[in-house]
Structure 1
Amino acid sequence: MSNVRNQPCSCGSGIKYKKCCLEHQNKYTVFCDETGNSGSNYLDLNQPFFVIAGWIVPNKNLKNTSYIEECTTSLGVSNELKSSKLIKRKKARQKFIDLFDSLCINLECIPTFVFAEKKYCVAAKIIETLLDPAYNNEVDYSFTFDNLKKKELTEKVYSFPNESLEDFINFYLDGNAEKMTQCIRQMSDHAYSIGLYEISKLFKGALSGIVNNLETEKAAHASMPNKAMEAINVPVFLSITQIIEKIGRKTKYNFSLVHDETKQFEDAYTDIFKKISEADSFEAKLTDGNSIIMGYKHLKDFSFITSSQSKWVQAADILAGVLGRLLNDIKDDTLNDDSLLKLAKTLLPSLLFQDVIKLSDSICSNQTREKIFEAIKPLEN
C-alpha cells in the first residue's frame, strides 16, 4: 500500500497518489447561491419563489473550473457569470445546458437545491403561529411534530384570498395584537363560510393567547440580526444543510459548505449552522416521514466567499437562477422554450423521483407540485 501511495496518481495529475486523489477521497464541497430574495415581502408577485441551489463538487476536481471558464468566454462575459443578466438570452440557456452536462458527466458534480413558494410559506406560518399549543387551548401538544396534519391544514389556508394572507403576515411582522385579532376573526369567519369548520374553531382558539404569542414571536425575531427571521431564507438554508448532512450519513462522505456572501443573512446563517451542527446528536421523526437532525457529523464546516472569487459559486448562481426561472414559468403556465424544457428535464425530476438519497426538496402547495409534474412528464417519453 505504501508503494501505491507514492506512485503517480491514476487521474493523470502527475502528483503522487497520497497527495492527490487519496487526500480528497470521500470529501466534497458544496457551493451554493440564492435567487428570489424579497425579504419580508412574502407575496411578491414578481418573485413567487425563493431558491437556494448548489453544486456538490468532488474535492479532487475543485481546481478544474475550465468548463465554467469556457461558458464565461463563449458568452462574452468580461467579469463573472450572473444568471439574472443572462437567463433571457437563448444562447446563454443553451450554454447552461452544456455547462450542466459537463459538470455532471465529466466532473461528477451533483446539483442540489431547496425552493420555497412564498405564498405557501405564509399559509404555513399562519398554521405554525395560530395553532401553537402553547397559546391555543384547542390544539394538543402532539400537533408540534404532526407534519401531515400541518400540511393538510396549510393546503386549505393556501386557498384563502391573497388579501387575508397579506394582512396576516403584515400584522404578524408588526406585532400588532389588535389588528391581528381582527385578522384572525375574519379568517375564522371565512373558513366557516366555506365549510372549514375545524380550522374556524382552531383559529378562534388562538384569540385568547395572541398577545403573548406575538410577544414571543417578536423576541424570537430579535434573536437574529438584520431582521433575518422576518424572511424565509433561514429555514430554507437550514433545509439544504439537512439534505447535505443526510447524504453524508448515507454515503459516509464528508462535506464543506460554501455560500456566496450575503450581507443581510451571513450572521444568521452562521449562527443557525453553529447551533444545529454543534448540538447533541438527535433525530426528531415527523409524521410525514421526514426528520430533523441535530448534531452534524458529515457536514464539517460552513463559510462564505464572494462570487467574483469563486467560479464554483458563479456556477451555483446560474443553477439557482435557472431553477427560479423554471419555477416561475411553470407556475405561470409559460414554460414553452425548448432550452428551458431541457433544463427542466435535467433538474426537476429529483423532486418527484427520489430513490435512496434525497438531493432536493420543495416547500410548496400540492397545486404547484402537480404543475411541476405535468411540466416534466411529457419529457420522459
Structure 2
Amino acid sequence: MNYDIYCDESGNTGTNFLDENQPLYVISGWMVERNSSYRVKDKVISLRKENFPQVNELKGARLLKTSNGKRFCANFMKEMGQLGCTPFFIVAEKRYCLAAKIVDAFFDSEYNDRISTTLSWNNHIRKIIAEIIYNISEESIEKFAEVHKSPSIANIKDTQIQLIKEFRKYGYDQLAYAVEGSGNHLDKILEEETYTESGMEKKALKTLNLPVFVSFIQLIELFSRNINFNKVRMVHDEIAQFKKVFPEIFQIYSKSKSKETLILSSGTEMVFSTLKLKHFEMGDSMKHPLIQAGDILSSTINNYLTKVNNNEVIEPELRDIGEFIVGSILVNNEFIGRGFCDFVWSTELKKKLFNEVGISTSLDLPTKQIELDIEEFLIKK
C-alpha cells in the first residue's frame, strides 16, 4: 500500500537553544493511506468550518491560546486517529541538545588528546555524559550557547575552563581530566563551529531543524521498511529558511541505493537511503489541510510538554495529551528502534511527564551524582 505523511514543526528558535518560552522543538506529521487522503482532507476542512468558520487555516499555536481551542486540538487528534491516520513525531529538548553538543565538541578524539576513538563511537556513554552536563553544568551550557551563536577561541576556552571546574566540583575527575585534553585543539573546535555558520544556506547547520529533520526521515523510512509499505510521500510545510536545504538533504538519501543499516551502541538504527520514502516536497499549508493537521499535532505536543517542563498547571482540556504521549512511548518501545516517535531529551523531563500522568516508572530522577567510569576510554599522558 502507498502512504502520504503531512508534517509541520513547532518551537523553531533558530540558533537560540535557550529560549525560556520555547524549550522544545517538535516535528510531527500524520501518515494517511493514499486512497483515504481525500476523505481525511475533507474532514479537516469540515471541522474547521464547523468550529472556526471565521478563519481560513487551522493554526495550532493560535488555537491553544483559548480553552475552546485547546479542547478542539485534543478532540481533533482523537478524530484523526479514528480516521485511520498514524501520528509520527520527534521531540527535542533544546537544553539537553546543547549538552550533547558540548560532548561532541570536547569529547571527540579528533579534538582531544586524552580520548580514545572508541568513545567517539560509543553513543550510550556519550548520552550519559550529556546527562551529567545537563544536570550539573548550567554555566557551561550557557557559555556554550554563546559559542554556538558567536564562535570564538575566547568563548570556547571559557566553556572548557567552566566545564572542568564543574566536573571537579561534583567529583567527576575523569571527565575533568578528559576535557583538559582538548586544550591543544580549541582551534579545531572553533573551525567546526565556524563551518556550521557557512556550511549550508542560511545557517541551517546551526539549527535543530536540520538534524531533527534528518532523524524524521530516518524514522519514517525505518517504520515503512518494518511494515513493508510500498511507497511513501512526505509533504512538509514551507519554511523559507529551509526551502532549499530540506529537499537537498532528502536528495542525498533518495539517490543512494544502499540497503545497509548501522546499529549504534545505544540500539539506535540508521539508514543511508530511502527505499520506501520515495518523494519529498514542501507545500503551502493554506492549500494543504493535512499540513494544518500536522501543525496541530506538533503545537499540541509542544504546548503540553513545555508546561510539564516548566512545572505549570495542565489545563483539563489537555490532560489526555499526556496519556497520548506516554502511550506513544510505551507502544513505540515494542517496535525496537523502528517505531513512530523519538525523543532527544533529559531523564528529568521524561520523569516529569510520567509523574504528571500518574504513571510510576523505574526511572531515577537525575541527581548531581550519576555514576560513570570512563577509564577504558582515556589515554593517559
1:163 is matched with: 139
1:345 aligns with 2:323: yes
2:276 is matched with: 298
2:155 is matched with: 179
Aligned length: 354
Equivalent residues in 2 for 1:247-286 (5 A)?
247-253=223-229, 254-281=231-258, 282-286=260-264
Deviates most, 135-144 or 236-245: 135-144
Q: Contact conserved, 1:67 with 1:102, CA < 8 A, in 2?
A: no
Q: Give the distance between the partners of 1:123 and 1:326, measured in 2 at CA.
A: 23
1:127 aligns with 2:103: yes
- Which residue of 80, 95, 112 maps to 1:136? 112
Q: Contact conserved, 2:64 with 2:73, CA < 8 A, in 1?
A: no
Shift of 1:103: 1.7
Which structure: larger Rg?
1
3-state SS of the aligned residue for 2:38? Answer: coil
Q: Give the distance between the partners of 2:209 and 2:303, measured in 1 at CA.
A: 18
1:288 aligns with 2:288: no
Between the two proteins, what is the percent identity of the paired residues?
27
TM-score of the two chains, using structure 1 as the length reference: 0.88
Q: What are the superposed Cα offsets for residues 43-96 of structure 1, whole Å, 9 maximum, x if unpaired?
A: 000000000011011101111223212321233242100111111222222222
2:347 is matched with: 366
2:376 is matched with: none
1:98 aligns with 2:85: no
1:58 is matched with: 33
CA RMSD of aligned residues (A): 1.8
Q: Contact conserved, 1:349 with 1:376, CA < 8 A, in 2?
A: no
2:370 is matched with: none
3-state SS of the aligned residue for 1:368? Answer: helix
1:218 aligns with 2:191: no
Shift of 1:145: 2.3
**Structure 1 residues 378 and 289: CA distance shift in structure 2, 3 A:** closer
Q: What are the superposed Cα offsets for residues 252-278 of structure 1, whole Å, 9 maximum, x if unpaired?
A: 112111100000122222222222332
- Which residue of 82, 89, 97 maps to 1:113? 89
Deviates most, 333-342 or 301-310: 333-342
2:3 is matched with: 28
Shift of 1:220: 4.3
Q: Contact conserved, 2:221 with 2:274, CA < 8 A, in 1?
A: yes
2:107 maps to a residue whose letter is L
- Which residue of 192, 198, 209 maps to 2:185? 209
Shift of 1:335: 4.1
3-state SS of the aligned residue for 2:202? Answer: coil
Q: Contact conserved, 2:238 with 2:284, CA < 8 A, in 1?
A: yes
With a CA cutoff of 8 Å and minimum separation of 6, indicate the structure with the bigger relative contact order: 2
| Structure 1 gap ranges (5+) | 1-25
Q: What are the superposed Cα offsets for residues 341-374 of structure 1, whole Å, 9 maximum, x if unpaired?
A: 1122224421244212511000000111111122
**Structure 1 residues 223 and 280: CA distance shift in structure 2, 3 A:** farther
2:202 maps to a residue whose letter is N
2:356 maps to a residue whose letter is A
Off by >4 Å, runs of 4+ in structure 1: none
2:37 maps to a residue whose letter is L
Q: Contact conserved, 2:221 with 2:277, CA < 8 A, in 1?
A: yes
Shift of 1:104: 1.2
Q: Give the distance between the partners of 2:356 and 2:198, measured in 1 at CA.
A: 41
1:290 maps to a residue whose letter is T
3-state SS of the aligned residue for 1:307? Answer: coil
**Structure 1 residues 213 and 332: CA distance shift in structure 2, 3 A:** closer
Q: Give the distance between the partners of 1:218 and 1:239, measured in 2 at CA.
A: 23
Q: Give the distance between the partners of 2:112 and 2:256, measured in 1 at CA.
A: 29
Shift of 1:129: 1.3
Shift of 1:27: 0.6
Deviates most, 249-258 or 341-350: 341-350
Q: Give the distance between the partners of 1:60 and 1:160, measured in 2 at CA.
A: 52
- Which residue of 53, 61, 78 maps to 2:55? 78
1:227 aligns with 2:208: no
